[in-house]
């Protein structure tokens, strides 16, 4: 009896294995095309695509029963398989699926049809191994489960849950195919991976944006609906097309439906993106700030759908070394006073004084219509105030609807100079710890402070060094890798030097030393070290340096 069952079981699994592979057929076509066919009867969960990071992007048209479903760009492996990404088959079940891939290979000097791509490594599977294989993956910072991430998007807080969306490429560990990935957390330390929230559609891929909780249902999707505004982006041979689209959620931000009337906001410029909206109690209406080329555009709306342009900001102020991206605008309390001021956040790439991407800010007033800086002289002749003086602090925006009047912010911990080249593959990029934004005043000048969120207090993730004057703190490991923090009280500067800290040769822009101005004498330096990052907070947030490091082993020695 037992033997019979066993034999039968074996037979079944052999049959299944044979039929499973027969369900997929690869047809090599003329020029540089191939079709990957998956039969309608196929039951596997995934098609696993072999990826080589350095291969050119193959352009794949996903066709189900003759209809184009979407287009994706995938670096299909040519010489070696770096890793696999899963293509989910669920939604195509029962349909004849064809992935029509244009491989972008110059065949003239390579010979035979299809010989050059690892098509034999494409396979059907019911499982995908997303377990971590990276020694550099942080332990307490947010990362994607696998593949590429950039900007944090649409962050909001609701009913005890922090929602974090992010720019996500599910088909590789380099930038492309932008979706909104989604994670949630109740403590800002442990993050749960949620299903993709917004996937590309006929309007384009899904670039950065924001979410609000529409308590009064002004947008017409019910009270308490979560509304997302994002950029629909399409790259064309003659430049980018970008406009703004809306999606809404009636289940607290877990799933979104796209609004039928998209797009809802257009403009006649190429770089028009990253909508960031908020309720403005002062004018009892919604405001929206958009990046538009090298300035910001400000809008207002009663219903989150019809936006009226109010004003523009920034053409002659601050740094203009690159495109202005990912704006934010918020009213912040000035520490130790009853005063509040508005702060306009403008991420910029490139243009940072130490190269690449960074976050500049402007302090002033906003009446719901126009933002005016307090003291223009601070931002003239290309001068800028930077929120963080490390190399890896970008696309920084705040959570909406945070409790207790807080304005917690997250930065993407990377820099466009080398984001695609950092030495990890199974995932690429992490986010900073959450920092609560506040203002502090020294003389007549206001500065933006970024204080580690209170959730990290007593979590045992950090070390605080009491400071009485100039000092040097060395972070190292047994292999001799060293990251150095130098506080110079005479020069009033705080420096982070990672030039001798493990792997730096993947980019000539990585081995750096950056220096921040210190506006008030430091009494403490608080340090968060994770496997591949060091975040340094002078006076618990008055001066901050956020940097990636890739040491041979974690930096466990502090002297
Ligand atoms: C910033 C950015 C945004 C854009 C997104 C695309 O890093 O360039 O301006 O929306 O990334 O992924």
Which of 18-22, 263-267, 469-473 has the least mean pLDDT?
18-22
Å from CA of 325 to ligand 1 middle: 7
Does residue 31 register a pLDDT over 90? Answer: no
Average pLDDT over residues 47-60: 95
pLDDT of residue 117: 65
Q: Is the CB of 326 under 6 A from ligand 1?
A: yes
Consecutive H or E run containing 3: helix 2-22
Tokens at 180, concatenated: 């909104």
Is 119 or 250 the better-scoring residue by pLDDT? Answer: 250
CB 527 within 8 Å of CB 480: no
pLDDT of residue 107: 62
pLDDT of residue 10: 39
Q: Is the CB of 456 under 6 A from ligand 1?
A: no
pLDDT of residue 119: 84
Structure confidence by residue, pLDDT tens digits, 158-204: 999 999 999 999 999 999 999 999 999 999 999 999 999 999 999 99
Å from CA of 157 to ligand 1 middle: 22
Torsion angles phi and psi, residue 89, rounded to 5: -95, -15
Average pLDDT over residues 439-452: 98
pLDDT of residue 292: 98
CB 447 within 8 Å of CB 439: yes
Does residue 466 register a pLDDT over 70? Answer: yes
Tokens at 353, concatenated: 């004084």
Tokens at 116, concatenated: 């050059």
Please pick, among 32, 151, 388, 392, the residue that the annotation labels catalytic. 151
Q: Does 505 qualify as catalytic in the annotation? A: no
Q: Is the CB of 168 under 6 A from ligand 1?
A: no
Q: Is the CB of 397 under 6 A from ligand 1?
A: no
Structure confidence by residue, pLDDT tens digits, 9-30: 334 433 333 334 679 998 888 7
Å from CA of 372 to ligand 1 middle: 26
Tokens at 250, concatenated: 């009636």
Does residue 294 register a pLDDT over 80? Answer: yes
Q: Is the CB of 396 under 6 A from ligand 1?
A: no
Q: Is the CB of 166 under 6 A from ligand 1?
A: no
Q: Kindly give the number of the ligand 1 atom that is closest to the alpha carbon of 412.
A: 7
Å from CA of 503 to ligand 1 middle: 26
Does residue 2 register a pLDDT over 80? Answer: no
Residue 405, helix vs strand vs coil: helix
Q: Kindly give the number of the ligand 1 atom that is closest to the alpha carbon of 291.
A: 9
Q: Looking at ligand 1, which residue's alpha carbon is closest to its atom 6?
A: 207
User: How many percent of the chain have pLDDT more than 70?
Assistant: 94
Average pLDDT over residues 281-304: 98
Does residue 374 register a pLDDT over 50? Answer: yes
Q: What is the spatial distance between Cα 423 and Cα 426, in angstroms, rounded to a whole number? A: 10
**Furthest-apart CA atoms within the chain: distance in Å:** 90
Q: Is the CB of 395 under 6 A from ligand 1?
A: yes
Q: Is the CB of 149 under 6 A from ligand 1?
A: no
Residue 409, helix vs strand vs coil: strand
Q: Is the CB of 273 under 6 A from ligand 1?
A: yes
Give the confidence band of 120 by pLDDT, cuts at 50, 70, 90: confident
311: how many CB neighbours lie within 10 A of its CB?
15
Q: Are strands 205-214 and 225-236 parallel, antiparallel or unpaired?
A: antiparallel
Give the confidence band of 372 by pLDDT, cuts at 50, 70, 90: very high
Closest to 285 (Cα-Cα) out of 218, 342, 365, 228: 218
Å from CA of 334 to ligand 1 middle: 30
CB 210 within 8 Å of CB 228: yes
Q: Kindly give the number of the ligand 1 atom that is closest to the alpha carbon of 207.
A: 10
Q: Kindly give the number of the ligand 1 atom that is closest to the alpha carbon of 347.
A: 1
Q: Decide: residue 501, CB within 10 A, 0-12 exposed, 13-18 middle, 19+ buried.
A: buried
Å from CA of 59 to ligand 1 middle: 21
Å from CA of 393 to ligand 1 middle: 14
* Beta sheet of 445-452, edge-to-edge order: 394-398, 408-412, 435-442, 445-452
Q: Kindly give the number of the ligand 1 atom that is closest to the alpha carbon of 416.
A: 7
SS3 readout for 155-207: EEEECCEEEEEEEEECCCCCCCCCEEEEEEECCCCCCEEEEEEECCECCEEEE
Does residue 8 register a pLDDT over 80? Answer: no
Q: Is the CB of 414 under 6 A from ligand 1?
A: no
Q: Is the CB of 274 under 6 A from ligand 1?
A: yes
Structure confidence by residue, pLDDT tens digits, 213-240: 999 999 999 999 999 999 999 999 999 9
pLDDT of residue 474: 98
Q: Kindly give the number of the ligand 1 atom that is closest to the alpha carbon of 209.
A: 10
Average pLDDT, the chain: 94
- Choose which residue among 149, 167, 346 to substitute to test ligand 1 binding: the one with the highest number of ligand atoms within 8 A of its C-beta: 167
pTM for the full predicted model? 0.95
Q: Is the CB of 292 under 6 A from ligand 1?
A: no
User: How many percent of the chain have pLDDT more than 90?
Assistant: 91
């Amino acid at each position: 009896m037992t033997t019979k069952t066993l034999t039968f079981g074996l037979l079944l699994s052999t049959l299944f294995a044979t039929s499973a592979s027969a369900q997929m057929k690869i047809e090599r076509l003329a020029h540089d095309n191939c079709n990957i066919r998956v039969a309608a009867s196929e039951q596997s969960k995934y098609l696993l695509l072999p990826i080589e990071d350095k291969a050119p992007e193959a352009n794949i048209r996903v066709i189900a029963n003759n209809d184009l479903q979407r287009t994706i760009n995938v670096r299909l492996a040519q010489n070696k398989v770096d890793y696999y990404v899963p293509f989910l088959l669920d939604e195509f079940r029962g349909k004849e699926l064809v992935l029509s891939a244009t491989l972008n290979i110059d065949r003239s000097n390579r010979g035979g049809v299809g010989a050059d791509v690892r098509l034999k490594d494409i396979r059907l599977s019911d499982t995908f191994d997303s377990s971590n294989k990276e020694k550099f993956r942080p332990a307490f910072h947010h990362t994607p489960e696998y593949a590429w991430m950039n900007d944090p998007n649409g962050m909001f807080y609701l009913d005890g849950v922090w929602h974090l969306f992010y720019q996500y490429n599910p088909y590789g560990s380099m930038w492309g195919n932008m979706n909104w990935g989604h994670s949630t957390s109740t403590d800002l330390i442990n993050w749960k991976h949620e299903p993709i929230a917004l996937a590309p559609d006929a309007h384009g891929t899904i670039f950065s944006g924001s979410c609000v909780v529409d308590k009064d249902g002004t947008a017409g999707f019910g009270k308490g609906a979560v509304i997302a505004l994002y950029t629909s982006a399409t790259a064309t041979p003659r430049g980018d097309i970008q406009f703004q689209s809306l999606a809404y959620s009636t289940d607290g931000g877990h799933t979104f439906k796209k609004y039928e009337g998209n797009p809802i906001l257009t403009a006649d410029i190429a770089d028009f993106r990253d909508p960031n909206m908020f309720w403005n109690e002062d004018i009892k209406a919604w405001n929206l700030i958009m990046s538009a080329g090298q300035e910001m555009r400000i809008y207002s709306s009663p219903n989150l759908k019809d936006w009226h342009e109010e004003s523009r900001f920034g053409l002659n102020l601050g740094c203009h070394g690159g495109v202005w991206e990912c704006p934010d605008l918020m009213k912040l309390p000035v520490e130790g006073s009853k005063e509040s001021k508005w702060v306009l956040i403008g991420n910029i790439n490139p243009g940072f004084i130490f190269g690449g991407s960074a976050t500049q800010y402007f302090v002033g007033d906003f009446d719901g219509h126009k933002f005016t800086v307090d003291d223009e002289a601070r931002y003239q002749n290309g001068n800028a105030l930077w929120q963080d003086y490390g190399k890896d602090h970008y696309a920084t925006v705040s959570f909406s609807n945070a409790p207790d009047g807080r304005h917690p912010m997250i930065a993407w911990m990377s820099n466009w100079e080398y984001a695609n080249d950092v030495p990890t593959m199974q995932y690429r990029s992490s986010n900073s710890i959450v920092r609560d934004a506040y203002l502090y005043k020294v003389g007549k000048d206001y500065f933006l402070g970024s204080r580690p969120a209170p959730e990290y207090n007593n979590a045992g993730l950090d070390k605080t060094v009491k400071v009485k004057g100039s000092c040097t703190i060395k972070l190292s490991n047994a292999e001799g890798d060293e990251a150095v923090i130098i506080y110079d009280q005479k020069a009033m500067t705080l420096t982070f030097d990672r030039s001798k800290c493990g792997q730096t040769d993947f980019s000539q822009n990585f081995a750096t030393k950056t220096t921040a101005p210190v506006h008030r004498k430091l009494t403490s330096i608080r340090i968060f070290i994770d496997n591949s990052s060091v975040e340094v907070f002078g006076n618990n947030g008055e001066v901050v340096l956020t940097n990636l490091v890739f040491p041979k082993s974690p930096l466990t020695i502090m002297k």
